[in-house]
């Protein structure tokens, strides 16, 4: 799960991380009042769940509350297109109005789970303000890493090592070590999957501040992070994906093709998309219906697919194991009764409950293009979507 910058900064501030003075605003008038309160000279930043806001024209340094209001007016309610949003852009529901900083240096800090050591790693760099992937590719020696033993927990020497490694001195060593400890405490306490501060700014007057902040959360931990879950902003998500989650279809991702897919199991669902693209087609979605035997789940999945105007054919690829084919078939029959299914249906069904499932579909007169294996199913789905 993602949150906005203003929400991320509020969470980090709870853990003692120094952030610039700021106010979130949802109207131009609020932006003007916030700018006046912060002294007039402020930065106004579009709040969207995507990076690349600066280059996309979503961030501006202004000198007066009037300018802040005008810039906010031009942003709020519009869709900002960055290199991460896709051509449709992301709605700007809020702006963050923040004190302008006199920047001496820009640094970088992030925390995530290292896929090699399987433990939390804190990364720091003197090359802040740039895309860290570019720094990693061009000058990997500029990225410092410290791993935290999960059983020992955070130790102050870790923050000191990174602070000295970034060539900070004087009072900034202590500020940096405290800030890194705060970031780590937030990372653990809120079940984050990434905490990234880029840039971490050293001001001309010797302060260290998280000038930007990005936090993603571990979706698996939401059962124990109710306050975090409440920060979800569904305006930043695809409407069909939002609807899917409200009807128990938790693993639905909208894609750009025209073949609606329903598959049991994440791996098989990914492989189904791969097969479709091997045969020259493109899936309209990823959908793992899971291994629960539940007729209603099938109907919910079909409801999402029939609402998607891009879908020109539906492809069910079901390997009946714990999820039985006959239950899926009954779900299809009920879907055709309740929904207006206008597009052809291709099925590749195998495994437990196959014969019973076939009988249920035939007895209820469901017109199905049957496929013998995954490749056959993909080939037939691509042809059906093309009207062949």
Closer CB to another protein, 22 or 198, in the complex: 198
User: Which of these segments, 14-22, 54-62, 172-180, 215-223, binds another protein (CB under 8 A)?
Assistant: 215-223
CA distance 250 to 244: 6
Q: How far apart are alpha carbons 168 and 225 in whole angstroms?
A: 35
Q: Tell which residue, 75, 135, 73, has the closest CA to residue 109.
A: 135
Per-residue mark of binding to another protein, 300-329 (x: CB under 8 A): -------------------xxxx-------
Tokens describing residue 235: 């305006």
**Nearer Cβ to another protein, position 107 or 276?**
276
- Report the alpha-carbon angle 352-356-357, nearest 5: 80
Rounded to a whole number of angstroms, the minimum distance from the CB of residue 277 to another protein is 4
Instruction: Give min distance, CB of 252 to another protein, in A.
Output: 10
Candidate residues 88, 102, 116, 226; the one interacting with another protein per rule CB under 8 A: 116
Binding status of residue 102 toward another protein by CB under 8 A: no
- Asked if residue 131 binds another protein (CB under 8 A), the reply is no
Residues forming a β-bridge with 80: 90
Decide: is 247 part of the binding site for another protein (CB under 8 A).
no
Q: Which is nearer to another protein, 64 or 251 (CB)?
A: 251
144 close to 180: Cβ distance less than 8 angstroms: no
Strand partners, 285: 254
Residue 83 CB, nearest approach to another protein (Å): 12
Q: How many whole angstroms separate alpha carbon 104 and alpha carbon 288?
A: 49
Alpha-carbon distance values, 155 to 17, 119, 123, 145 (Å) = 17, 15, 15, 14
Check binding of 119 to another protein (CB under 8 A): yes
DSSP calls for 207-235:
-EEE-S-EEEE-GGGGGG-HHHHTT--GG
State the Cα torsion 179-182-188-191 to the nearest 10°: -80
Closest CA to 336 of 315, 361, 354, 316: 361
Start-end of H helices in the chain: 5-14, 28-37, 65-75, 132-138, 156-165, 171-189, 226-229, 239-246, 266-278, 295-307, 325-338, 354-363, 374-385
Q: State the binding string over 47-86 for another protein (x if CB under 8 A, else -).
A: -------------------------------------x--
Query: Of 173, 268, 343, 383, which lies in the binding site for another protein, with binding defined by CB under 8 A?
Result: 268
The smaller minimum CB distance to another protein, of residues 210 and 263, is found at 263
Binds another protein (CB under 8 A): choice among 29, 104, 375, 386: 375
Q: Which two tokens stand for residue 270?
A: 């990914």
Geometric angle at alpha carbon 82, from 78 and 84, rounded to 5°: 125
- Cβ proximity to another protein: between 2 and 32 the closer is 2
Q: Enumerate residues 157-196 that contact another protein by CB under 8 A.
A: 188, 191, 193
Contact call for residue 286 and another protein (CB under 8 A): yes
**Cβ closer to another protein: 77 or 150?**
150
Query: Does the footprint of another protein cover residue 294 (CB under 8 A)?
Result: no
Looking at beta carbons only, is 164 or 279 nearer to another protein? 279
Cβ–Cβ under 8 Å, residues 333 and 361: yes
Is 267 a residue that touches another protein (CB under 8 A)? Answer: yes
243 binds another protein (CB under 8 A): no
Binding site for another protein (CB under 8 A): 84, 113, 115-116, 118-120, 133, 149-151, 188, 191, 193, 218-221, 223-224, 251, 253, 255, 263-278, 282-283, 286, 288, 291, 319-322, 350-352, 373-376, 378
């Amino acid at each position: 799960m993602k949150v906005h910058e203003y929400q991320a900064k509020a969470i980090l501030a709870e853990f003692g991380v120094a952030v610039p003075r700021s106010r979130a605003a949802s109207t131009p008038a609020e932006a003007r009042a916030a700018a006046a309160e912060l002294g007039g000279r402020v930065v106004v930043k579009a709040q969207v769940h995507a990076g690349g806001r600066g280059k996309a024209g979503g961030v501006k340094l202004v000198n007066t509350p009037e300018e802040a209001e005008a810039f906010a007016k031009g942003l709020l309610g519009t869709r900002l297109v960055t290199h991460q949003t896709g051509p449709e852009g992301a709605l700007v529901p809020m702006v963050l109005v923040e004190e302008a900083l006199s920047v001496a240096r820009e640094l970088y800090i992030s925390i995530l789970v290292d896929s090699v050591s399987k433990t939390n790693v804190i990364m720091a760099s003197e090359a802040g303000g740039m895309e860290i992937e570019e720094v990693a590719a061009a000058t990997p020696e500029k990225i410092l890493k410290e791993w935290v033993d999960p059983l020992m927990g955070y130790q102050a020497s870790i923050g000191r090592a990174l602070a000295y490694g970034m060539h900070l001195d004087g009072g900034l060593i202590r500020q940096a070590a405290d800030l890194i400890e705060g970031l780590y405490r937030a990372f653990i306490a809120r079940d984050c999957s990434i905490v990234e501060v880029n840039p971490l700014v050293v001001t001309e007057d010797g302060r260290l501040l998280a000038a930007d902040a990005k936090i993603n959360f571990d979706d698996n931990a939401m059962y124990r992070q109710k306050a975090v879950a409440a920060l979800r902003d569904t305006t930043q998500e695809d409407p069909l994906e939002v609807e899917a989650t409200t009807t128990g279809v938790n693993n639905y991702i909208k894609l750009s093709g025209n073949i609606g897919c329903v598959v049991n199991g994440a791996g098989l669902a990914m492989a189904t998309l791969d097969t479709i693209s091997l045969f020259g087609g493109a899936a309209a979605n990823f959908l793992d219906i899971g291994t629960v035997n539940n007729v209603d789940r099938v109907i919910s999945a079909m409801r999402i697919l029939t609402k998607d105007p891009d879908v020109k054919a539906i492809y069910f690829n079901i390997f009946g194991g714990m999820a039985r084919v006959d239950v899926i078939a009954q779900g299809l029959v009920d879907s055709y009764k309740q929904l207006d299914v206008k597009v052809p249906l291709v099925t590749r069904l195998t495994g437990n409950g196959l014969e019973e499932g076939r009988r249920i579909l035939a007895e209820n007169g469901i017109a199905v293009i049957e496929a013998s294996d995954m490749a056959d199913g993909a080939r037939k789905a691509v042809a059906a979507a093309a009207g062949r």
